Structure 1
Amino acid sequence: MRLTKFGHACIRFDTDDGAFVIDPGVFSDPAALDGVDAVFITHQHADHCNDPELRNLLEDRPDTRIYGPESLSEVLGNLPFTTVSAGDAIPVAGTEVKVVGKRHAVIHPDIPVVPNVGYLVDGVFHPGDAFTVPDEPVRVLFAPVSAPWLKLSECVDFIRAVDAPVVHPIHDAILSKDGITIVDRNLVNLIGARFQRIADGDTVTI
């Protein structure tokens, strides 16, 4: 399985049997969607769900399936998608995508909490915007490192709770180059060598 970061929280999964992508949002490279069999969206926020690009995708590849929480209808309108919730398992590209979690992390008490699901793929976990800890072992964690709902101590506590041997940072488009350097330095100091940054466009194989 090959994992490629396409900016912010967007990760593409390529196997010998196909390809799918999680969270292709407005901060992500639309090339992530090229030739995919399925798209998995964790929640409705634009940095995770780029409605215009999804519409373009379905015009070019109408058989592509889109999956996400029911609340996606608020942004996708009449665009067809399959509703998923915690406990579901979707076969795709020769593997299985398990759905984990229910709600977005709290941004502020005055801002409504929207549904958010995470996706676990053969031990690789993408939590979306949440601190959900799966009930089974995680071998690779894509950990959000910068957001209006997140501070560094919460990021570290989440990484330690999941306890994956490899951690790749995501959700970092709002950081400057200096900001990324500061965050990475702190996370390496606090969680060690298992923290490994993937640059946008880079691929790792597991």
Structure 2
Amino acid sequence: MAGMQLTKKGHSCVRLTRDDGRVLVIDPGRFSEEDAALGADAVLVTHEHPDHFDEERLRTALEANPAAEVWTLRSVAEQLGAAFPGRVRTVGHGDSFTAAGFGVEVHGELHAVIHPDMPRVTNIGFLVDGEVFHPGDALTVPDRPVHTLLLPVHAPWNKFSEIVDYAREVGAQRALAVHDGLLSDTGLGVYGRNLGPQGPGIGGTAYTRMTPGDSTTV
């Protein structure tokens, strides 16, 4: 398996680059950097909400690279597939596939509850190369060990205690913050302290927040 570099591209978007140069991007949405999907060989989208899926930006990336492909759930595929026949693939819980050389497993089915009066959309999480898990907008626990958990730290659908318990249950070696685009610097500091040694503890998982543009080896 080739090595990977993970680069944060803002909010809930990450870019994975293999040693062989191939690039996979997850959730290039409206709160991500504008060029987040450009140059990608493969794109994974967890669900249809605009902070994870920006149709115009994704169309631009697919037009710029005629070989690029997308794997996502039906609600997103239906918005893109007609314009890019054969390049947008629908996947769901339990599926596994190879995207630009990356091995991917799909886990989960539904978005977390925002409020009982609001309908739940579908949501899937992606485990890449058995190493990095992006749950999208859900607290899905894969049925296998995870090395790096992309931890959605702040959203209308979660609270701090749930994030702590989720990190403990997944038991990854490290958790990298995502879904933090709505937090101010003050809020980010509070989350950093509470998810670090000063907080209640998240087991043996080491918590880190990267700023957009930062990279790490996974």
> Is the shorter-chain TM-score for this pair beyond 0.5, marking a shared fold?
yes
Aligned equivalent of 1:176, options 179, 184, 195: 184
Deviation at 1:32, TM superposition (A): 2.2
Deviation at 1:183, TM superposition (A): 1.2
1:42 and 2:55 matched:
no
RMSD, aligned CA: 1.5
Aligned equivalent of 2:112, options 99, 105, 109: 105
Alpha-carbon distance between aligned partners in 1 of 2:200 and 2:6, rounded to the nearest angstrom: 25
Deviation at 1:73, TM superposition (A): 4.3
**Which residue in 1 is equivalent to 2:58?**
54
Deviation at 1:155, TM superposition (A): 0.7
**Structural mapping, 1:35-184, within 5 Å:** 35-73=39-77, 75-76=79-80, 78-80=82-84, 81-122=88-129, 123-184=131-192
Give unpaired runs (5+ residues) of structure 1. Answer: none
SS at match of 1:143: strand
Residue by residue, what CA displacement relative to the aligned partner does 1:67-125 show, whole Å, maximum 9, x if unpaired? 11111146547344210101111212333011111110000011111110000012210
Deviation at 1:130, TM superposition (A): 0.4
Alpha-carbon distance between aligned partners in 2 of 1:46 and 1:130, rounded to the nearest angstrom: 16
Alpha-carbon distance between aligned partners in 1 of 2:79 and 2:159, rounded to the nearest angstrom: 27
Alpha-carbon distance change, 150 to 85 in structure 1, aligned in 2, over 3 angstroms: same
Alpha-carbon distance between aligned partners in 1 of 2:81 and 2:114, rounded to the nearest angstrom: 25
Alpha-carbon distance change, 75 to 93 in structure 1, aligned in 2, over 3 angstroms: closer
Alpha-carbon distance change, 70 to 104 in structure 1, aligned in 2, over 3 angstroms: same
TM-score norm. by structure 2 comes to 0.90
SS at match of 2:175: strand
Alpha-carbon distance between aligned partners in 2 of 1:5 and 1:62, rounded to the nearest angstrom: 24
TM-score norm. by structure 1 comes to 0.95
Deviation at 1:30, TM superposition (A): 2.6
Give unpaired runs (5+ residues) of structure 2. Answer: none
Alpha-carbon distance between aligned partners in 2 of 1:184 and 1:74, rounded to the nearest angstrom: 38
Note if contact 2:38-2:64 (Cα within 8 Å) is conserved in structure 1: no
Note if contact 2:77-2:89 (Cα within 8 Å) is conserved in structure 1: no
**Which residue in 2 is equivalent to 1:200?**
212
